[in-house]
């Protein structure tokens, strides 16, 4: 499942390439035909990301709610003006695996038509649940867990059920503290609960707990307020880096095999997916267990 930083990158991408544009909305696969008809021909006025959900707002006061789940992804393409949030590093696919359109990539290889050659979106490939098309480009959604049209009051109800999102400036850290400190479940489990904090997935969960030296098995209510606030601040900082970079890197350069340059995949994390390998700080083997049916990684030496 993409973690929250990917959804905030999607928000940025949609606002950048489709903001203020009138969109054709369809469902080539046919499973979203009625919903698409309610949005077709409306102007897209901006998006909202909260946790792992994205909401696209249209000028008839309706929202397209999308949760990518395990297998969902968006693909983008269009003419030379359809470049996304930045001309370098604009993602053309965001979902379970992000493909980046970096500087050296040729427009053709990046799925963008060459100058003057844009003739509309390609024929849909595979099961395209929703297709959005402007004068300059298109976005295809495949494999989402949720894709539905909702009203403003339904939007408020969905967000009301979620915990605060570390990537939204209006989120209140005290609300996170309150939700954690009233629960007897292990903190490792609470961080994955979208009603406690929205947007954190398995990687940010494991890495934040390591960086803060917190034993994932401690009950939420046993943690002091300052400790929980520090954890929130660390999640905010790590996830903001993720939005900027389009990948999750939690290690400090001094803790990597090669401190120079960008982190390699093998150097990007402290404990996530490193079971049995030596801890970068204390050399104890990184532990792995199941917690609420998800893999949990931690260092018993540093987190106690
Ligand atoms: Zn350690």
Expressed in angstroms and rounded, the spacing between residue 302 Cα and the centre of ligand 1 is 4
Expressed in angstroms and rounded, the spacing between residue 202 Cα and the centre of ligand 1 is 19
Expressed in angstroms and rounded, the spacing between residue 281 Cα and the centre of ligand 1 is 5
Expressed in angstroms and rounded, the spacing between residue 255 Cα and the centre of ligand 1 is 12
Expressed in angstroms and rounded, the spacing between residue 55 Cα and the centre of ligand 1 is 40
Read off the pLDDT band of 80 (50, 70, 90).
confident
Mean pLDDT of the chain: 90
**What is the β-pairing status of strands 146-151 and 62-67?**
antiparallel
For this structure, is 52 an active site residue? yes
Expressed in angstroms and rounded, the spacing between residue 283 Cα and the centre of ligand 1 is 6
Model pLDDT, residue 28: 98
For this structure, is 3 an active site residue? yes
What's the rounded mean pLDDT across residues 59-81?
91
Q: In sequence order, what E strands does 71-217 have?
A: 73-78, 90-95, 99-101, 128-133, 137-142, 146-151
Read off the pLDDT band of 47 (50, 70, 90).
very high
Whether 75 shows a pLDDT value over 70: the answer reads yes
For this structure, is 294 an active site residue? yes
Model pLDDT, residue 195: 98
Model pLDDT, residue 202: 96
Whole-angstrom Cα distance, residue 287 to residue 268?
A: 17
What are the start-end ranges of the H helices in the chain? 4-18, 33-39, 152-160, 173-181, 187-190, 202-211, 225-245
- Give pLDDT tens digits for 128-171: 999 999 999 999 999 999 999 999 999 999 999 999 999 999 99
- Give pLDDT tens digits for 84-136: 643 333 445 555 456 654 433 333 333 444 445 678 898 998 899 999 999 99
Q: How many C-beta atoms lie closer than 10 Å to residue 70's C-beta?
A: 11
Expressed in angstroms and rounded, the spacing between residue 213 Cα and the centre of ligand 1 is 9
Model pLDDT, residue 111: 44
Model pLDDT, residue 95: 54
The one catalytic residue in 9, 11, 52, 57 is: 52
Which is nearest to 206 in space by CA: 138, 267, 297? 297
Expressed in angstroms and rounded, the spacing between residue 183 Cα and the centre of ligand 1 is 27
Q: Which residue is associated with the tokens 């990184």?
A: 286
Whole-angstrom Cα distance, residue 228 to residue 166?
A: 13
The one catalytic residue in 22, 100, 181, 294 is: 294
Model pLDDT, residue 99: 61
For the chain, percent of residues with pLDDT exceeding 70: 89
Long-range pairs of 54-58 with CB within 8 A, sequence gap ≥ 24? 54/7, 54/10, 54/11, 54/14, 55/150, 55/155, 56/14, 58/23
- Give pLDDT tens digits for 180-221: 999 999 999 999 999 999 999 999 999 999 999 999 999 999
What's the rounded mean pLDDT across residues 245-253?
94
Whole-angstrom Cα distance, residue 114 to residue 262?
A: 31
For this structure, is 96 an active site residue? no
Expressed in angstroms and rounded, the spacing between residue 236 Cα and the centre of ligand 1 is 23
Model pLDDT, residue 29: 96
Model pLDDT, residue 84: 64
Q: What is the pTM of this model?
A: 0.89
Which is nearest to 46 in space by CA: 67, 20, 24, 64? 20
Long-range pairs of 297-301 with CB within 8 A, sequence gap ≥ 24? 297/206, 297/271, 297/272, 297/273, 298/188, 298/206, 298/209, 298/210, 298/215, 298/216, 298/271, 299/210, 299/270, 299/271
Read off the pLDDT band of 70 (50, 70, 90).
confident
Model pLDDT, residue 279: 98
Contact 267, 243 (CB under 8 A): no
- Give pLDDT tens digits for 258-269: 999 899 999 999
- Nearest 5°: the CA angle 210, 211, 216 is 30
């Amino acid at each position: 499942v993409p973690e929250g930083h990917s959804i905030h990158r999607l928000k940025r991408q949609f606002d950048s390439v489709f903001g203020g544009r009138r969109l054709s909305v369809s469902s080539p696969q046919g499973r979203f035909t009625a919903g698409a008809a309610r949005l077709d021909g409306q102007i897209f006025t901006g998006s909202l990301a909260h946790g792992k959900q994205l909401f696209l707002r249209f000028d008839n006061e309706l929202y397209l709610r999308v949760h990518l789940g395990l297998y969902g992804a968006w693909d983008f393409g269009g003419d030379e003006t359809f470049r996304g949030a930045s001309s370098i590093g604009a993602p053309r696919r965001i979902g379970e695996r992000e493909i980046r359109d970096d500087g050296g990539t040729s427009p053709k290889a990046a799925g963008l038509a060459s100058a003057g050659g844009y003739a509309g979106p390609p024929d849909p490939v595979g099961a395209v649940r929703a297709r959005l098309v402007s004068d300059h480009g298109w976005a295809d959604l495949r494999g989402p867990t949720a894709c539905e049209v909702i009203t403003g009051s339904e939007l408020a109800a969905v967000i009301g059920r979620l915990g605060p999102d570390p990537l939204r400036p209006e989120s209140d850290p005290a609300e996170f503290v309150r939700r954690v400190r009233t629960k007897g479940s292990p903190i490792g489990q609470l961080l994955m609960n979208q009603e406690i904090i929205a947007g954190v997935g398995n990687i940010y969960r494991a890495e934040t707990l390591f960086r803060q030296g917190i034993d994932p098995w401690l009950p939420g209510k046993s943690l002091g307020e300052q400790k929980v606030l520090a954890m929130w601040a660390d999640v905010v900082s790590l996830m903001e880096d993720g939005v900027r970079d389009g990948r999750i890197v939690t290690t400090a350069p001094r803790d990597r095999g090669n401190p120079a340059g960008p982190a390699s995949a093998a150097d990007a994390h402290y404990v996530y997916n490193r079971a049995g390998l030596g801890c970068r700080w204390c050399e104890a083997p990184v532990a792995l267990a199941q917690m609420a049916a998800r893999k949990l990684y931690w260092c018993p030496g540093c987190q106690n």
